Copies of this chain bind each other. A is one copy, B any other.
Amino acid sequence: MKNITTFSELVNHLAEQGMRKNVAVVWAADESTQHAVAQAITDGFITATFVGCEKQLREQAFLLPLLDHITFVDAPTPDDAAAIAVGLVREKKADILMKGLINTDNLLRAILNKETGILPRGNVLTHITAADIPTYDRLLLFTDPAVIPFPTHEQRIKQVEYLATMCRKMGIDEPRIALNHCSEKANEKHFPYTVGYQQIIGMAHEGAFGRCIVDGPLDVKTSCCAASLRTKGIDSPIEGQANAIVFPNIEAGNAFYKTITLFAGAQTAGLLQGPTAPVVVSSRSDSTQSKYYSLAVAAMCS
């Protein structure tokens, strides 16, 4: 696979592949979800199963030319739509799950349902964002800006595993994953999780995450800037070229997310990982473009 460094390249790659993944969309009553799905169908990498809202969707002129790639499934309420869409994923009739106009908590309840849900035992539900930052020379994945407040050591191991897998599916043969911290020294007293970092690095050496390079603690700058690494006199196999960052907590992950989008012109795509299929859970405030890119990343990673 050729090297994908931007969302445009990602979308072009998907179009060239000519393979469509099926997304089950839960209660697509909002136009930005409808437009994002329509664009992904038009660009050739998605077919959609809209669960609920059929009447409303059939009235949208921009969907009419795409009906060959659309299926409708009836659902009386958003909660019913969530249960049905999750069922489609469980029966492998859908490759991707997408949230429309439904409360995230309600969708999560359907995903996490012990009898009928799609989170395998031992998996962890976590949020991964892929970012296309104009001032960085590659796509940057990071976790977790939105779901797990303070990941435990075991949850962090899963986060590294998901990032390594996602990066490889996106064409990075040997992903470089930075374990983030405000300094480059492990500190047992104030930041006990940084001691856990050493163990995760050891696991990576032993091949626990497949082919990848894991290092840390590193801050954002020493993770993504070779010059900063040299100035600080630090040796890291990531060499300032991180493909992914694991943040220690949701406050740091969220500050990073909001800062690159607000001040650095980044485009982002967000996914839940852990369930048997990637879940697109953009919030109302996300742009249509962000939802569209989320579908593209999900199509690469499903």
Report A's interface with B, CB cutoff 8 A. Answer: 133, 135-136, 145-146, 149-150, 180-182, 190-191, 219-221, 224-225, 228, 231-232, 247-256, 258-266, 284-285
A259 in contact with B262 given A251-B181, A252-B251 (CB within 8 Å) = no
4 more A-B residue pairs beyond the given contacts A182-B254, A219-B255, A260-B263, with a C-beta to C-beta distance below 8 A: A135-B262, A182-B253, A220-B259, A232-B285
> Does the CB pair A265–B135 fall under 8 Å?
yes
Copy total for this chain: 2
Partner of A284, one of B190, B231, B258, B260: B231
* CA gap between A135 and B262 in the complex, in Å: 8
> Does the CB pair A251–B249 fall under 8 Å?
yes
Smallest CB separation, A265 vs chain B (Å) = 7
> Does the CB pair A219–B254 fall under 8 Å?
yes
> Does the CB pair B228–A262 fall under 8 Å?
yes
Q: Which residue of B lies closest to A229 (CB)?
A: B285
Sorted from nearest, which 8 A-B pairs have the closest CB atoms? A182-B254, A220-B258, A251-B252, A263-B264, A221-B258, A264-B264, A252-B255, A231-B285
> Does the CB pair A182–B220 fall under 8 Å?
no
> Does the CB pair B149–A262 fall under 8 Å?
no
